[in-house]
């Protein structure tokens, strides 16, 4: 389970309502994602679920009394209010919503809310007619004005037999909404990225081709990281066995010439272009229309001609040129060759990686690069490609804006 709420301190308030039985599962779901959860029960909530149950699933003592002498000797309600990174009240009954809207502090839960500067959310849970009542609607509107997040409610069959809006959202839904509040700010919102990935194949005849060992994993990881950061991403990929990351527009090509055509068409509509593909340097001058036969000779001579340099072609655009980032996969003199490519191809940035070993680079799950730009260099150590991609996207974003 991804720790999307790692180290987040969530104070869960539970008010009286049949939906309180779901709160134990909600605590479990929040903890699965790394949150530290503490619980406050109202008096009414204790009629539906016990403090012992919630202590068992949260791993923390459960609070329920504002006038607990032991807790209040250390100003317990203030301590809880300051401890919380986020306060979620689920279920939030019509009564609790009314008291919160009017700033009452007549129990531990409402007192903590008034004493806390943390972001807050309520998950309404009540009979459908109570939810529709004009008083409840006004109270919810007041909470919105006070910057409360309103999670739900859902709609459907209710414990009383009615059908309509007023059901508390399910624990997984509430967990997802909480995760969204803590999701990182999408720094690349509105920016358009084009990324090339994978190898190219240069046909020899209808059966054979020239290619390389690129798996496309690094380019696909970059595309996924850019989308997560808010960018609109076009991924131009050679033939690889990888699923398209969610939210990415994929264009499939085979040869270097096809990739060049797609790259130039996309580049003029992009803010950032990342050439991560391992493009074959040469192609066969004349592709055989039929499969070449072995014959009696021990040798086969093929005339190769140089393929177009895709990243240099993009960098050479005179109009609508994107911020251009290249990759240099080398087996020796890695940094020297990369610095030379940065200048010769007029790139804005280049990522140099050593592919001489099997631990990083082609087909591996990990990679390490030295990032070079005019006026600076940064080494990013061996790590999973997805992690490395996130660091690279952040670095590219920083230099694109400068």
Catalytic positions, written as ranges: 160
CB proximity list for 4: less than 8 A, separation 6 or greater: 33, 34, 179, 182, 183
To the question of whether residue 311 is assigned a binding role by annotation, the answer is yes
291 annotated as a binding-site residue: yes
C-alpha pair distances (Å), 190 with each of 193, 270, 281, 382: 10, 11, 34, 31
273 by DSSP, 3-state: which? strand
Report whether 148 belongs to an annotated binding site.
no
275 labelled as ligand-binding? yes
DSSP 8-state class, residue 184: P
310 is in an annotated binding site: yes
163 has which bridge partners? 157
Q: Please, are residues 385 and 217 in contact by the beta-carbon 8 Å criterion? A: yes
> Angle at Cα 373 formed by Cα 368 and Cα 378, nearest 5°?
40
Is 86 annotated to bind a ligand? Reply is no
Q: In whole angstroms, what is the distance from residue 376 CA to residue 349 CA? A: 10
Report the b/e string of 35-58 with b at 16+ CB within 10 A.
Answer: bbbbbbbbebbeebbeeeebeebb
* Rounded Cα–Cα distance for residues 86 and 79 (Å): 14
The answer to whether 186 is a known ligand-binding residue is no
* Residue 276 annotated in ligand binding: yes
Binding-site residues sit at 275-277, 281, 291, 308-311, 327, 341, 345
Binding-site residues for CTP sit at 275-277, 281, 291, 308-311, 327, 341, 345
């Amino acid at each position: 389970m991804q720790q999307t709420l790692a180290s987040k301190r969530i104070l869960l308030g539970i008010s009286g309502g049949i939906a309180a039985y779901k709160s134990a599962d909600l605590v479990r779901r929040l903890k699965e994602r790394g949150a530290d959860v503490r619980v406050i029960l109202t008096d009414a909530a204790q009629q539906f679920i016990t403090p012992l149950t919630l202590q068992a699933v949260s791993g923390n003592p459960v609070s329920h009394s504002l006038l607990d002498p032991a807790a209040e000797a250390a100003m317990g309600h203030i301590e809880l209010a300051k401890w919380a990174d986020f306060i979620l009240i689920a279920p939030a009954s019509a009564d609790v919503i009314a008291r919160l809207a009017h700033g009452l502090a007549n129990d531990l839960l409402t007192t903590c809310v008034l004493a806390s500067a943390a972001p807050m959310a309520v998950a309404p849970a009540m009979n459908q007619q109570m939810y529709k009542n004009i008083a409840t609607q006004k109270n919810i509107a007041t909470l919105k004005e006070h910057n409360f997040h309103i999670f739900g409610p859902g709609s459907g069959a209710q414990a009383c037999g009615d059908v309509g809006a007023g059901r508390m959202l399910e624990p997984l839904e509430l967990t997802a909404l909480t995760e969204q509040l803590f999701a990182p700010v999408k720094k690349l919102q509105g920016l358009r990225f084009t990324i090339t990935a994978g190898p190219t194949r240069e046909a020899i005849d209808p059966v054979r081709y020239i290619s390389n060992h690129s798996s496309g994993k690094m380019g696909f990881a970059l595309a996924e990281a850019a989308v997560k950061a808010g960018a609109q991403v076009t991924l131009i990929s050679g033939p690889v066995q990888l699923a398209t990351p969610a939210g990415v527009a994929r264009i499939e090509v085979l040869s270097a010439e096809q990739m060049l055509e797609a790259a130039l068409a996309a580049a003029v509509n992009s803010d950032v272009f990342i050439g991560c593909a391992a493009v074959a340097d040469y192609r066969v001058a004349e592709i055989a229309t039929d499969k070449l036969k072995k014959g009696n000779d021990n040798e086969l001579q093929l005339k190769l001609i140089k393929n177009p340099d895709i990243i240099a072609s993009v960098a050479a655009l005179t109009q609508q040129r994107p911020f251009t980032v290249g990759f240099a996969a080398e087996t020796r003199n890695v940094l020297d060759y990369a610095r030379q490519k940065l200048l010769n191809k007029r790139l804005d940035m280049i990522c140099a990686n050593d592919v001489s070993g099997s631990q990083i680079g082609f087909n591996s799950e990990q990679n390490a690069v030295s990032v070079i730009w005019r006026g600076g260099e940064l080494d990013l150590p061996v790590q999973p490609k997805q992690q490395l991609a996130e660091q690279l996207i952040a670095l590219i974003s920083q230099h694109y804006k400068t």
